[in-house]
Every structure is written in structure tokens, then in C-alpha cells.
Amino acid sequence: MKQDGTLLQISTMMALLDGVFESETRYGSILEGHDFGIGTFDHLDGEMIGFDGSFYQLRSDGSARPLDPNTTTPFCSLTRFTPQQTLSVDKEMTKYDFEQWLSAQLETVNSFYAVRIEGQFSEVKTRTVARQEKPFPPITEAVATQSARTFKQIEGTLAGYFTPRFGHGIAVAGYHLHFIDQERSGGGHVFDYTVQNVTVSFEEKPRLDLRLPTTASYREADLESHDIEQEIKLAEG
Ligand SMILES: [Zn+2]
């Protein structure tokens, strides 16, 4: 039986930093039992967001489409989301203030959490990376081709995870969130946002099922020589 507390992590941020953008993991082979997540696609062909069992591919041309289970992923974090707590915020708060407040609501910041923020935002700034071709550049160069977008006065959903500091490198420490608008027409990896009138729900995820790739590109990657703090900041904002 599926354990609700488990967070399934396919590969790591460290591998993305070194340009491991290909995988043999089909989304169709890992989605079962999960209804929530974020991630990316082979060749970094867009950003993934999923909640309520619906998963989407957000591409650099600004489009959004339902995820094709035959696509493969070099990085994703999936779970079954059963909120432990749902809170409302009905005043404007910047990302910094909101996340400070939210972290104070978590029972501990020493665990992983799935987080969903839904409602009206004054602003959401996103990016979607453009598809990369071989030989793959490190992600810090790949993001130079990203398309940035600012949504103003927008309704939609932010979904993602809180990762404790020690998980930096497996995932992104702090809040890593993706966005899709209410019409399911666009979104991306979130750089910045200001909430206006939202509900936020979260669930602690004390079990991590980490699946490292067994591909040659992963085995041969140089994961030792990266400045994790600086490079993840450049790549993920
Ligand atoms: Zn992201």
C-alpha cells in the first residue's frame, strides 16, 4: 500500500547543475499513486506542475498542456497530497513575508513539506527554460535561454515543496514552487510572487524515496566540483 508520507524524488538538483538532462524515467511509470508534484522534462523542455491528479507541461513558448505520460523526466518530486492544515491569507504579502509567516506555521522546519497556495495573486513572476540540445550546458547556462513572464492580478495555483537546508542539492532548500493560472493556459517555475487573497495548505513529508539515475550520463557526471549555494541560486532564483 502506498504510504502517504512518502515524497518520491527522481534524481537531484546536483545532477541538473551538471547537465544531466536526460533520463529513462517515464512519467507514466511513476505517476501512479501520486496526485501532486513539480519537476522538469528531458532536455529541460519546460516545467511540470501537478495537483488534484492533473499534471501539466509548461513550455517556454508560454503554453500549457496536459502532461504526456510518455515523456521522461530528469528531475521531479511527486507525492500524494493530503493537507494537514489549510490557512487563509486575505492581505497582500510579498514572497519573503509570506514565506517567513508560512515557515512559522510549520510544526518543524527540519522536515519536507508539500505546499499548495491557491487564489488571487497581485503578481507572479515565472520562468520556463527552453529545450536544450546536446552537448548539454550546465543548468546555470541553460537558464540564460529561459523565458520570463510576469502575471499581474492573476488567479491560479502555486504548488511545490519546502525542503530543509540539509536537502539543498537533492532539491532546492526553502520553497520551490511552480505556478499555473486558473485557465490552465500558462505558468512556470516561480521566482517571485505577492499573495493577495489565498488559501495555503501543506503536509509534512517525513519519508523521502530518492531514486538516483543509473544512466551513463549520471554515473559520469561531476557532482563534486559545484558551488551548490551559488549555482542553485543562479539556476532556481
Ligand atoms: Zn522549478
pLDDT at position 4 is: 65
pLDDT of residue 1: 39
How remote is the CA of residue 84 from the centroid of ligand 1, in Å? 24
CA distance 206 to 228: 23
Q: Is the dihedral of CA 223, 226, 227, 231 positive or negative?
A: negative
pLDDT the model gives residue 145: 79
pLDDT > 90: percent of the chain: 84
Question: For 11-37, what is the mean pLDDT?
Answer: 95
Residue 166: pLDDT band by 50, 70, 90 thresholds? very high
> How many angstroms does the Cα of residue 4 sit away from the middle of ligand 1?
23
Chain length of the chain: 237
Q: What is the pLDDT of residues 136-152, one digit of tens each?
A: 988 888 888 788 999 99
- Which pLDDT value is given to residue 146? 82
CA of 27 to the centre of ligand 1 (A): 17
pLDDT at 154 over 90: yes
Q: Is the pLDDT of residue 159 over 70?
A: yes
Longest CA–CA span in the chain (Å) reads: 50
Q: Which residues surround ligand 1, an ion (CB under 5 A)?
A: 189
How far is ligand 1, taken at its centre, from the CA of residue 73, in Å?
13
Q: pLDDT over 70 for what percent of the chain? A: 98
Residue 115 CA to residue 138 CA, distance in Å, equals: 28
Distance 190 CA to ligand 1 centre (A): 7
Dihedral sign for Cα atoms in the order 51, 162, 179, 137: negative
Centre of ligand 1 from the C-alpha of residue 92, in Å: 24
Per-residue pLDDT reduced to its tens digit, 64-102 = 999 999 999 999 999 999 999 999 999 999 999 999 999
Ligand 1 centre to CA of 94 (Å) is 19
Q: What is the rounded distance in angstroms from the CA atom of residue 170 to the CA atom of residue 160?
A: 14
| pTM of the shown model | 0.96
| β strands within the chain, DSSP E | 6-10, 36-40, 47-51, 54-58, 64-66, 76-79, 85-89, 93-94, 112-128, 147-163, 174-181, 187-205, 207-211
Residue 2: pLDDT over 80 = no
pLDDT averaged over every residue in the chain: 94
Query: Quick check: 25 pLDDT over 60?
Result: yes
